[in-house]
Structure 1
Amino acid sequence: MTAARFLVVLDADSTLIRNEVIELLADEAGRRAEVQAATEAAMRGEVDFATSLRSRVDALRGVPTAAFERVRARIEPTQGVHELTAAVHERGGVVGVVSGGFHEILDHIAPGLGVDRWRANRLLLEGDVLAGAVDGEIVDADAKAASLQSWAAELGVAPHATIAIGDGANDLTMMAVAGLGIAFNAKPAVRAAASLVVGPQDLSEIIPLLP
């Protein structure tokens, strides 16, 4: 594998895309309000992410897998995402996404947004409905940081040449191990801990920060 000049790793929900996928799935169960409140608490760092995710996924029990297509149709890419990923590629970089969301959605949208590699959770199925549980280990804050580090090692990218972009408390560990941690459309605790804060919801604002 050819070494990359640098690596940019983004969170997915409310960063790569404008939506919170689990809330769109909760719409299908008629439980959006309670899931949305739990998501916001987790992103503020008020509750443990893995514990919160398990409870929120439990609320999806019984949602048919046919809902995935409806949710994918509602996804809104964040403004500037195509410009950012194109600029990374033009400069010899690689774009990764690591998400507390779900492969069932990310696998379909990531390639079209210029993402080179991605990691997310998987939903356990019972036939053609959701079982209300995560299949396998949960992608939490530590897993996000480990993904950035392992991808950098595979690509021959030095730690100082990595950039992490996120909005929630579960992005803080990833941002701490990156050469540059950028809070994007972020919660107060994340803005306070980040190397840089980007306020406008436009990922192209990050292009001048690329090496």
Structure 2
Amino acid sequence: MTLERLAACSATHISSQLVLGTWVKFSEAEFVQTQLPTNPQGTFSVAFDTDFDGEKIAAIIEFLRGNNIAVDAICRYQPSSDLTPAICFYSNETHQALNPLSLNEFAHTKGFQLVQLQTPPDLEKPGLLVMDMDSTAITIECIDEIARLANVYDEVAAVTAQAMAGKLDFSESLHQRVAKLEGIEQSLIDELKNALPLMPGIAALCQVLKQHNWYLAIASGGFVPFAEQVQKLLNLDEVHANILEFKDNKLTGRVLGTIVDTNQKALVLGNLTEQLNLTQQQTVAIGDGANDLTMMAKAGLGVAVHGKPKVVEQAQAAICHGSLLQLLYLMTIPK
């Protein structure tokens, strides 16, 4: 089947020709069923977040070819009934992964998302997910919301933005920001804690992972009261976050103990991997900020979720918009 003929196929025709979970290759006239090598070591390019017609599939094949990646097999699969089917393009050769920012720039213009993986984790085997909290597991930055209560939001948010973009040392920025929160009543912290907005899809994702014996943890530069609330909401196994000091039921403007910074996050992931006796391939780390990059690099799969451009550029893969349940696309590739 030529790319021209493929591009003329409707989404309905594609769905009828590509049976879910079945690998196929192109022949001159049709899709022909095939199999991947045992323990495939090539490159997986996964497109998701839309209904795929022939034109979109042909565009992806052409894009990959333009980057010297030959497509040897294609598979349409659906990790969850809550997600539209994805299309995976497999190349037998191991290639230098394309930059996630470049993949996103191409895919965004076509109305879908595209990531590349080489040794994807397997949902069916025990694994570890370590996640950032603020702007990852929840939609807000808790320190910025506390700052609203103290009428210092603009000052604190500006420092937060610099830290998340990697322009300011995280520990230094944390002490600067927390110092501005002195005097906030603990009752106001409790009100904020009890109204945390979860990131869309994170609850469903965690439920699926727990059903498959995955260990779930938070490693956050945020604060313990909020991390413990998220732990309760998502049934997480453990959390690591910073400790705010209170005196007379008010914030003192100080942080106690070891700061959970970029290195500490990576240490949490490494320690848990060892404790759980997992291979690196079965570890996943997700986050949105520069202080998540070291942790993400240490994981078998590090995914920027709704991340800043610098984070997307340096991650292994990126989910740039939509539900975090989409992480399942990267963990359920049929092999």
TM-score, normalised by the number of residues in structure 1: 0.95
Question: Quick check: 2:201–2:325 contact (8 Å CA) kept in 1?
Answer: yes
Partner of 1:198: 319
- What does residue 328 of structure 2 align with? 207
Match of 1:47?
168
Counterpart contact for 1:81–1:202, Cα < 8 Å: yes
Q: In structure 2, the residue corresponding to 1:200 is in which secondary structure?
A: coil
More displaced stretch, 103-112 vs 119-128: 103-112
Unpaired stretches in structure 1, ≥5 consecutive residues: none
Is the CA contact (8 Å cut-off) linking 1:149 and 1:159 kept in structure 2?
A: no
Aligned-partner residue type, residue 319 of structure 2: V
Tell me which of 53, 65, 71 is aligned to 2:192. Answer: 71
Aligned length: 208
Q: Answer with 196-205 or 66-75: which moved more.
A: 66-75
Letter in 1 for 2:140: N
Letter aligned with residue 213 of structure 2: G
**Maintained 8 Å contact 1:35/1:56:** yes
Residue 105 of structure 1, CA deviation: 1.6
Q: Which runs of 4+ in 1 moved over 2 A?
A: none
Q: Say yes or no: does 1:89 pair with 2:206.
A: no
Moved more, 123-132 or 107-116: 107-116
Distance 1:191 1:177 in 2: 16
**Residues in 2 aligned to 1:168 and 1:89: alpha-carbon distance in whole angstroms:** 25
Contact 2:194–2:229 (CA<8 Å) still a contact in 1? Answer: no
Q: Secondary structure at the match of 2:143?
A: helix
Q: CA deviation at 1:155?
A: 1.3
* Residue aligned with 2:292, SS: helix
Runs (5+) with no aligned partner, structure 2: 1-124
Q: Does 1:123 align with 2:237?
A: no
Deviations 1:68-103 (A, max 9, x none): 222123310000011110111122211111100000
> Residues 144 and 153 of structure 2 are in contact (CA less than 8 Å); yes or no, is this contact kept in structure 1?
yes
Measure how far apart 1:185 and its partner are.
0.5
Percent identity of the aligned residues?
A: 35
Alignment-derived partner of residue 25 in structure 1:
146
For residues 92-111 of structure 1, the aligned pairs below 5 Å read 92-111=213-232
Q: What secondary structure is seen at the aligned counterpart in 1 of 2:296?
A: helix
Does the 8 Å contact 2:163/2:290 carry over to 1?
Answer: yes
- Residue identity matched to 2:312: R
How far apart are the structure 2 equivalents of 1:37 and 1:201?
26
Measured after TM superposition, the shift of residue 201 of structure 1 is 3.5
Look up the match of 1:171: 292
User: 1:45: how far off?
Assistant: 0.2
- Normalised by the size of structure 2, how large is the TM-score? 0.60
- Trace 1:134-149 onto structure 2 (pairs within 5 A): 134-149=255-270
- 1:108 Cα deviation (Å)? 2.0
2:194 aligned counterpart, secondary structure? helix
Higher relative contact order (CA 8 A, sep 6+): 1
Are residues 1:59 and 2:180 paired? yes
CA contact (8 A) 1:78 1:201 kept: no
Higher share in helix: 1
Contact 1:82-1:114 at 8 Å conserved across structures: no
Deviation sequence 1:43-73 (CA, Å, 0-9, x none): 0000000000000000101111111222123
